[in-house]
Amino acid sequence: MGHLENYVVSSAGHPGFEVRSPLRAYGIPSEALQTPEALVSEQKKLLEFMDVSSASRRGVLRARTNLLSLESALVESPLNHGELAEIGGTDDFIVTFAQNNKLTNPEKVEIQSKMSFITKPVEQLLRPSLRVESLQKTGEYYLSDKLTQKDAQDLMKLWWVFGWTWKGINDFIEQFNASANSPWFSGVRDRNGRLVSAVQGDKIEYADHLSVEVTEFSTLEGHEGKSLCTAALTGLIAQIIRHTLVNDDPIKDKNPKNLPVLIYSELNIDSTSFYVAQSLGFESPSIELNGKIIDQTLRENVYVLEKTPELEQLWMTSTTEEQEAMLANPDFYESHLRNFVMMHMPSAVIETLFNIEEVDQILKFYNQFN
């Protein structure tokens, strides 16, 4: 979910405590929390931050830790546990603790919290470059990693459901072109050059690792069911791996410290986005602690707007100020809150499916229209 802070569009956030609209508090400790006491202490700090800030609806703490500390901390945890993902090349995990002070639809949450997501064996997954190659062979679409202000209308048509304002869209495009440290972007264009599918990636460095969130999976109505978003995500993952795990281009290197990398996504359970991620090897693993399966559901995590012609027309014709006013209205955003699941790309999948030869093969397809 894109928002502008200090002139930087971010979905992954920043280390420390911050308030995100609407009424959400986030805490990301800059150091790893390797004891149960440290984990519990940071959760209490988040609750204190919520008390003195405007973030009264939801609090989220994301931290690096180890399984032993997590297992002990769960006994005293003042927050609900939401997600867990391995950090490639280490024995540590990224854990998210979260608490909603109010659930608008607890019955729906309870049903969805029981969902399980089966991970496909790597050998059953299609070679990623073949997905992009098949897109190219259609003669109707091609991969694009370019963005200009002329794309603002198309990008808004794709991302308005995620609450993007006109200012947010324009700032994203400006930042994308202005900085070597910008977010990643991957899209699919039709033969007329119009964006019809898009995804983006954003990174945050904390606790001696690099977290990269891939997000905003979207395909324009009338173009669904053609694996366009899967192709866009394939290209995005290849870009991220090339720029963070293979450090042979100092200009494009976005991981100069050569830190361990976690590639993850928070995916709307009500959509098909988690199937797109799953087809490329993302997983939501079944993890058991203290004899209980850890629930990976993020209850009423963020809003995704209802995709109706009436709401789309209203959003597209509203100013940034009017869009922000809608999102600030509790009656509006609470009706659009969704449940998400955490999925991440295991290091074994990266090594097997996205080796450097495969990555470079995928990247060759960008901006090539037959």
Spatial neighbors of 26 by CB under 8 A, at least 6 apart, are: 13, 17, 18, 19, 20, 59, 60, 61, 62
Predicted pLDDT at 99:
81
Distance of CA 5 to the CA centre of its chain: 17
Predicted pLDDT at 157:
98
Tokens matching residue 17: 């405590």
- Count of all residues that appear for the chain in the document: 370
Place of tokens 């969902």: 115
* Nearest Cα to Cα of residue 7 among 179, 155, 161: 179
CATH 3.40.630.30 fits 3-363, yes or no: yes
Predicted pLDDT at 356:
93
* Residue 343 and residue 112 in contact, taking contact as beta carbons nearer than 8 Å: no
Q: Provide DSSP, 19-59.
A: EETTTEEEEE-SS---SHHHHHHHHHHHHHHHHHSS--SEE
Distance of CA 50 to the CA centre of its chain: 23
Predicted pLDDT at 134:
93
Place of tokens 């799953």: 278
Please state at what angle helix 152-159 crosses helix 166-178, rounded to 10 degrees: 120
Predicted pLDDT at 193:
95
Cα dihedral 87, 186, 242, 126, rounded to 10, equals: 80
Predicted pLDDT at 293:
64
Task: Quote the CA–CA distance of 355 and 370 in Å, as a whole number.
Answer: 26
Question: Which residues in the chain show pLDDT less than 70?
Answer: 1-12, 21-22, 55, 80-83, 102-120, 247, 251, 285-290, 292-296, 370
* Nearest Cα to Cα of residue 237 among 283, 280, 189: 280
b/e per residue 303-328 (b: at least 16 CB within 10 A) = bbbeeeeeebeebeebeeeebbebbe
Predicted pLDDT at 270:
81
Q: What is the DSSP letter of 344?
A: E
3-state secondary structure of 250: coil
Alpha carbons within 13 A on the beta-carbon side of 293: 10
The per-residue pLDDT of the chain, averaged, comes to: 85
The strand ranges marked E within 139-282 are 141-144, 184-190, 195-206, 209-219, 261-268
Place of tokens 């866009």: 232
* Nearest Cα to Cα of residue 355 among 129, 96, 88, 141: 129
Predicted pLDDT at 370:
67
Predicted pLDDT at 228:
97
Predicted pLDDT at 295:
64
